[in-house]
Amino acid sequence: MTSEKMIIQIKEWLKEAAGYIQVSLTNKLLVSQKSNRKDLVTNIDEETQAFFIKKINQNYPNDRILAEEKGFDTIESLAGRVWIIDPIDGTMNFVMEQENFCIMIAVYEDGVGQLGFIYDVMKDELYWGGRKQGVFLNDQKLQQPKDTALSKGLLGMNAYMYGKNIYAAGEIGHASMGIRVSGCAGIELIAMLKGNHIGYISNLSPWDYAAGLVLLNEFGYKYSNIEGKPLAFAKREYFLAATPTAYAQIQKDFIRN
């Protein structure tokens, strides 16, 4: 089971990693491509992930890890306790803007999210929470956002999906008050936790959404793959999260019609 000790440890690890990342921005980054020129990884992504893996192995040697870099990107199952890590979510933003990126860590037990942490490094804002514990911004407990309809709120969106109208993303965007594109899943999920956005549509891997799901679940948001099926936690897939009302509208009016 997760514990208060684990929460304290994770917060300490996040602060230490963030300090290292901030210092690294004053030095030259080693940037390389993964699948294409827009899919980047830096030495800081890899070093930050290695830092977390070392901490987990030292303190919880029997736990397993699913993470974005260096061969940790697949796992046979979510049985037992699994840590899911995105060392720098929004690497393009990290490289090009030096802001609008996050560290994300989740702890799952037998497939059920127990703890989630989304840390906006440059703002020093940690959104975190746990199952039946609520959601916090640093030390302040947040109130659950209103269940707002699609036509009444802003929607976080993947730019490619919107531009190509994949799964009617363009039409869904037009039905909302407007779309916003940040290039970082963590930033988009934070916007939902704050009540600034009513939903998020994108193409994500498990480390992009694992921490956020723990927190969205505490606030009663609905989430799934774009077709309404459970998320696989095994590959990149089209992702939908929204207020219950907006989620139902998107499924009924745009996905299943």
Q: Which residues are annotated as a binding site for Mg(2+)?
A: 68, 86, 88-89, 208
Token pair recorded at residue 99: 């802001």
| Closest residue by Cα to residue 105 from 72, 123, 82 | 82
Using the CB atoms, write b or e for 85-111: b if 16+ within 10 Å.
bbbbbbbebbbeeeebbbbbbbbbbee
Asked if 200 and 180 count as a contact pair (C-beta separation under 8 A), the reply is no
| Closest residue by Cα to residue 29 from 86, 87, 85, 98 | 98
**Interatomic CA distance for residues 203 and 255, integer angstroms:** 16
Which parts of the chain fold into alpha helices (H)? 4-24, 43-59, 91-96, 159-164, 169-175, 185-193, 206-218, 244-250
DSSP strand pairing (154-157 vs 197-204):
parallel
Annotated binding site: 68, 86, 88-89, 208
Asked if 118 and 212 count as a contact pair (C-beta separation under 8 A), the reply is yes
